[in-house]
Amino acid sequence: MDYREVQSINLARLLKEGGTAGASGVVRDAFFAGEERFPLQGEAHWKVSVTSVGEGEFWLSGEVEGVALMECRRCLKPTPVPVHAYFQHMLHYRQGAEGVEFHEETEEEYYIFGEPDLDLSGFLAEAFITEMPYTALCDENCRGLCPVCGADRNLVDCGHEAEEHHPLRALKGLLPEL
């Protein structure tokens, strides 16, 4: 397999001759949305195909598959969550346009790009992150963190009552002994 770390596809031939082009690759470590980082376990794999539909218009379709590492909502442990996302977008080529820009008109949504080398990173990150669940659980039976002392109750029995819940006490438990 000819995997590349570059997340782009070159459409120079399609711009001249039409037809279809394909590309595939991997994303390592994490996806990013602005400053926010969405860590991965191992590599995420992607593949796309782009088809010329005439008049500088292209149809992009692809998929991205990987394992997101999300914090367990009870014990905060990094928890692997398999994600497989599909996406389809209409693209318009405008020579000289910078980057990849989203446009919306009545009944039509599309992206404008101006370089034959189309950057896919935004499409891949958006599809993957959108497909992620809002929260994760390391295990259906995860016992979470003790609200009193902050201990991971999956690992230790700190002896505190599960019902005993007071935010200030939980905070106190997290501070080091003076």
> In the complex, which residues of this chain contact Zn ion (CB under 5 A)?
72, 74-75, 138, 142, 146, 148-149, 151, 158, 160
In the complex, minimum distance from the CB of residue 137 to Zn ion, in angstroms, rounded to a whole number: 6
* 95 DSSP assignment: T
Name the residue nearer to Zn ion (CB basis): 101 or 139: 139
Reference 77, options 69, 87, 85; nearest CA is 69
In the complex, minimum distance from the CB of residue 36 to Zn ion, in angstroms, rounded to a whole number: 22
* 136 DSSP assignment: B
Name the residue nearer to Zn ion (CB basis): 97 or 149: 149
In the complex, minimum distance from the CB of residue 76 to Zn ion, in angstroms, rounded to a whole number: 7
Question: What are residue 110's DSSP bridge partners?
Answer: 103
Name the residue nearer to Zn ion (CB basis): 68 or 146: 146
Give Cβ neighbours of residue 99 (< 8 Å, ≥ 6 apart).
Answer: 113, 114, 119
In the complex, minimum distance from the CB of residue 105 to Zn ion, in angstroms, rounded to a whole number: 46
Name the residue nearer to Zn ion (CB basis): 62 or 147: 147
Name the residue nearer to Zn ion (CB basis): 25 or 147: 147
Residue type for position 101: E
Phi and psi at residue 168, to the nearest 5°: -70, -35
**How many Cβ atoms from other residues are within 10 Å of residue 121's Cβ?**
15
The strand pair at 78-93 and 57-71 is best described as antiparallel
In the complex, minimum distance from the CB of residue 31 to Zn ion, in angstroms, rounded to a whole number: 23
Tokens read off for 71: 């914090």
In the complex, minimum distance from the CB of residue 68 to Zn ion, in angstroms, rounded to a whole number: 15
Name the residue nearer to Zn ion (CB basis): 51 or 154: 154
Residue type for position 155: L
Report the distance separating Cα 6 and Cα 10, nearest Å.
11
